[in-house]
Homo-oligomer: A and B are copies of this chain.
């Protein structure tokens, strides 16, 4: 445990563990960490040096492992619940494991096929989202969160204007991802079917296929093309569509598998309550998922890395999904204890996101 800086030319690495050891020792220490993570995830019990040498081919004695463990603990990668117990990984330890040590474990062919068929049997968007959630929950044994395709990132398929008996106008928006939203509009002028039909046709011609986020200009053009007495109506419709559909409250998520949290072996130090409460704050939860998701595949957030205090004992695995052309229109994720099967969870989330993207514009 010399505290000197690294000497030039020597083989020591201090990158992960902060102490100065040979490259081969360094590697074994990471093997020990991997073994600890894998054992702890499986048995849910702190793992000691003896067990470790018995269950893994480390090629060294328990005493040596103990030294390695001391180094890992010094580096903040593992910890002891109490003095005479084995070690468990810290959040930092899981992070290193996920980033560098975990081996990719793809799903089996039957599993993939099951995902594909189950998703393709869905009859509408609600069904697709519900089924995706059930798949994730079942594959990971954890809680699934699936976001509905975001309106802002979806394209417009059709815009419908329906006059109602009460003299109001019902504006219905259908996106190419299958979502349907509607708003009532108190129209200031009386309408004849011809005008309404014209407006509907113009609106649809101008907006079809565009992103909801950028149809403002298209609407402006339509309003100008209408006869002056109907321009207020056109702008009112545009107003309703653009404002209502950009509201954050229109983002929707679905939770599945909350019963998995109550399974034996899901013990949380603080109990289920903070977790369930965090899951119920859907707006905040979605914000967390959105922030951690980048376009490049699966993202993992571990324990205290999560902004939400209620999720301090959980890890979140998310992935974006989208239409077949690769754009991300929404997020899906699996949430479980930090002591989760990361390779399995990552594989499941990735696979479901992929098939979901394929099935989506049904």
Q: Which residues of A contact B (CB under 8 A)?
A: 123-124, 126-127, 157-158, 160, 162, 164, 170, 172, 174, 178, 180-184, 244, 247, 249, 252, 256-259, 261-263, 271-273, 276-277, 279-280, 362
Are A180 and B183 also in contact (CB < 8 A) when A262-B273, A276-B262, A280-B259 are?
no
Contact A182 B184 (CB under 8 A): no
Number of copies: 2
B-chain residues with CB within 8 Å of residue A178 when the two chains form the complex: 182
Output the nearest chain B residue to A184 by Cβ-Cβ distance.
Answer: B362
Output the nearest chain B residue to A159 by Cβ-Cβ distance.
Answer: B162
The 6 sampled A-B contact pairs (Cβ below 8 Å) are A123-B183, A157-B162, A157-B170, A174-B182, A258-B276, A261-B276
Are A280 and B257 also in contact (CB < 8 A) when A160-B162, A172-B180, A183-B123 are?
yes
Apart from A123-B247, A158-B162, A259-B273, what 7 extra A-B contacts exist at CB < 8 Å? A123-B249, A124-B182, A160-B160, A178-B182, A259-B276, A262-B271, A263-B273
In the bound complex, what is the Cα–Cα distance between A158 and B170 (angstroms)? 10
In the bound complex, what is the Cα–Cα distance between A244 and B272 (angstroms)? 39
Q: Which of B127, B180, B272 contacts A272 (CB 8 A)?
A: B272
Output the nearest chain B residue to A201 by Cβ-Cβ distance.
Answer: B193
Contact A258 B273 (CB under 8 A): no
In the bound complex, what is the Cα–Cα distance between A262 and B174 (angstroms)? 39
Output the nearest chain B residue to A272 by Cβ-Cβ distance.
Answer: B262
Instruction: Give the 9 A-B residue pairs with the shortest CB-CB distance, closest first.
Output: A259-B276, A262-B273, A262-B272, A259-B277, A180-B180, A158-B162, A259-B280, A262-B276, A160-B160
Contact B272 A123 (CB under 8 A): no
The binding surface of chain A is classed by DSSP as: mixed
Contact A126 B258 (CB under 8 A): no
B-chain residues with CB within 8 Å of residue A184 when the two chains form the complex: 362
Contact B183 A174 (CB under 8 A): no
In the bound complex, what is the Cα–Cα distance between A252 and B254 (angstroms)? 12
B-chain residues with CB within 8 Å of residue A170 when the two chains form the complex: 157-158, 174
Contact A244 B160 (CB under 8 A): no
Would you give the shortest CB distance from A21 to chain B, in whole angstroms?
45
Would you give the shortest CB distance from A202 to chain B, in whole angstroms?
14
Contact A181 B124 (CB under 8 A): yes
Would you give the shortest CB distance from A136 to chain B, in whole angstroms?
14
Would you give the shortest CB distance from A335 to chain B, in whole angstroms?
14
B-chain residues with CB within 8 Å of residue A279 when the two chains form the complex: 258-259
B-chain residues with CB within 8 Å of residue A271 when the two chains form the complex: 262
In the bound complex, what is the Cα–Cα distance between A256 and B184 (angstroms)? 27
B-chain residues with CB within 8 Å of residue A276 when the two chains form the complex: 258-259, 261-262
Q: Which of B123, B157, B183, B272 contacts A164 (CB 8 A)?
A: B157
